[in-house]
Structure 1
Amino acid sequence: MNTHQTDEGTLSQVVAGRRDRKKAATRKAIEAAASEMYAQQGFRETSVLDITEAVDVSERTFYRYFTSKEDVLFGPWRQDLELAVDLIESRPANEEPLEAMKGALLAMAEHFEQNRQRYFFIAQLASSSPDVAAYQGQVIIPTVVEAFAEGLARRLGVSVTTDLRPYVFAGVAAAAVNAAMVNWVATHGERPLQDLLIEAIDLLDIR
């Protein structure tokens, strides 16, 4: 074994680790500053420039991490979506598509419960800000449906363009999730999100 090559490899790993930690810290700092400003002065009144000045980063840096100030508000929703799709694909092979989605979403519900105040805050802004509501309806929901459909297609071994099932199941499951979330935030978590998800998905009764 070449000791020099080993040392170089170790050094590269250390540098990469530091870089990743710095990126994560920057992302969290932007999210924290944005959330505080949204709460204090309002979402519409807060600009990307306001956020970057609070964190002392450039707007260019901001856009390396987020596509818009709406994207910051919803936090790491893309990573959460990737996790949900991974959970769907890893469910037992003998489960029906909707049952697999139900199991995966119930696992994700625990994450939502742990971050309930954030989601209640987002819902409050969505009800009063057309921009937030539009981002949710035009960006997040279609992306969720598409990701669910592609995950189900891989699970079923079919194509989303030639088999109706992935998009049908993904669409109705996303609608059920939305209904459960609306009830959950409207009542400030009076009922556990898991219970609402079970009830909403069971109403579909699709096989």
Structure 2
Amino acid sequence: MTAAAAENPASRPQDRRHRRTMRTRAAIEAAALKLFAEQGFASTTVEQIAEAADIAPRTFFRHFPSKDAVLFGDPGRETERMREVLAARPAGEHPMRSLAAALLDAAERIEQDRAQHLMRAELLDGLEHAGDYELHLIRQRWVEDMAALVAERTGAGGDDPRTVAYSITLMSCFGSAMHSWLVGTGGTPLREILAQVLDETAGGLAQAADVVGSAVRGSAR
């Protein structure tokens, strides 16, 4: 039996549907960002985005709940993707290692379309209520979602401060790497910048822990 014949036939239509969905989402995002840049976010309607993407408005709402979701991203979708990545990690792995793997997955997906993310960053910078792109990445929703995933994975209680600490640390590093990648002109891949930021942060955290640990041990004498 050939490898092609051994494949699960049910998986092929599913793969095609997924690719078609991704193409439609990408077309909607490209059309929306172009309109936002040309005529402003507030002046752009869902109907205009749908027309530019050559789809019906109802199709738009099957992919995005609102035009805000196109500009700011879909936290729920990213959370589900992160849950999938975490579920595939070894059970006894440290949560920060698992989260780093999930962020690497995100970085590799983001890296495929730097121009679109740069356009989104410029649009967000132009909106008074939006703030900087890196701050958007580490906004409370992301931290809370990541902390919840860590707690879900480890069985930690809601009052365990480590889940939030892990999330804030990793998302801060990711946001800083994203900012450097977007404004940089050297062509360094996002994953390499992220690796450098994480490496230097890990070294600093180890030294910080040593200072605090020494102080605690000293006060216990």
- Normalising by structure 1, what TM-score? 0.71
Alignment of 1:171-186 (within 5 A): 171-186=168-183
Q: Aligned with 1:115: secondary structure?
A: helix
Q: Per the alignment, do residues 23 and 36 of structure 1 end up closer, same or farther by CA in structure 2, a change over 3 Å counting? A: same
Stretch moving more, 43-52 or 178-187: 43-52
Alignment of 1:162-201 (within 5 A): 162-188=159-185, 190-201=187-198
Structure 2 counterpart of 1:10:
none
Q: Per the alignment, do residues 44 and 132 of structure 1 end up closer, same or farther by CA in structure 2, a change over 3 Å counting? A: farther
How big is the alpha-carbon RMSD for the aligned residues of Structure 1 and Structure 2? 3.6
Is contact 1:89–1:154 with CA below 8 Å preserved after alignment?
no
Identity of aligned residues (%): 34
User: Equivalents in 2 of 1:41, 1:169: separation in Å?
Assistant: 40
Structure 2 counterpart of 1:158:
156
Listed one character per residue, the Cα deviations across residues 45-79 of structure 1 (whole Å, up to 9, x for unaligned) are 32334324545777676555434322112455532
Deviation at 1:87, TM superposition (A): 1.5
Stretch moving more, 167-176 or 56-65: 56-65
Stretch moving more, 46-55 or 177-186: 46-55
Deviation at 1:177, TM superposition (A): 0.9
User: Equivalents in 2 of 1:187, 1:138: separation in Å?
Assistant: 19
Deviation at 1:101, TM superposition (A): 1.5
Structure 2 counterpart of 1:66:
64
Structure 2 counterpart of 1:8:
none
Alignment of 1:33-72 (within 5 A): 33-54=31-52, 62-63=60-61, 65-72=63-70
User: Equivalents in 1 of 2:19, 2:101: separation in Å?
Assistant: 32
Equivalenced residues, count: 192
2:166 partner amino acid: F
Deviation at 1:121, TM superposition (A): 1.1
Unmatched 5+ stretches in structure 2: 1-12, 210-221
Deviation at 1:127, TM superposition (A): 1.7
Is contact 2:124–2:130 with CA below 8 Å preserved after alignment?
yes
User: Does 2:132 match 1:130?
Assistant: no
Is contact 2:64–2:70 with CA below 8 Å preserved after alignment?
yes
Q: Highest relative contact order (Cα 8 Å, sep 6+), 1 or 2? A: 1
1:166 partner amino acid: T
Deviation at 1:170, TM superposition (A): 0.8
User: Equivalents in 2 of 1:109, 1:85: separation in Å?
Assistant: 16
Q: Aligned with 2:191: secondary structure?
A: helix
Structure 2 counterpart of 1:11:
none
2:182 partner amino acid: V
- Normalising by structure 2, what TM-score? 0.67
Unmatched 5+ stretches in structure 1: 1-13
Is contact 2:135–2:175 with CA below 8 Å preserved after alignment?
no
User: Equivalents in 1 of 2:102, 2:72: separation in Å?
Assistant: 20
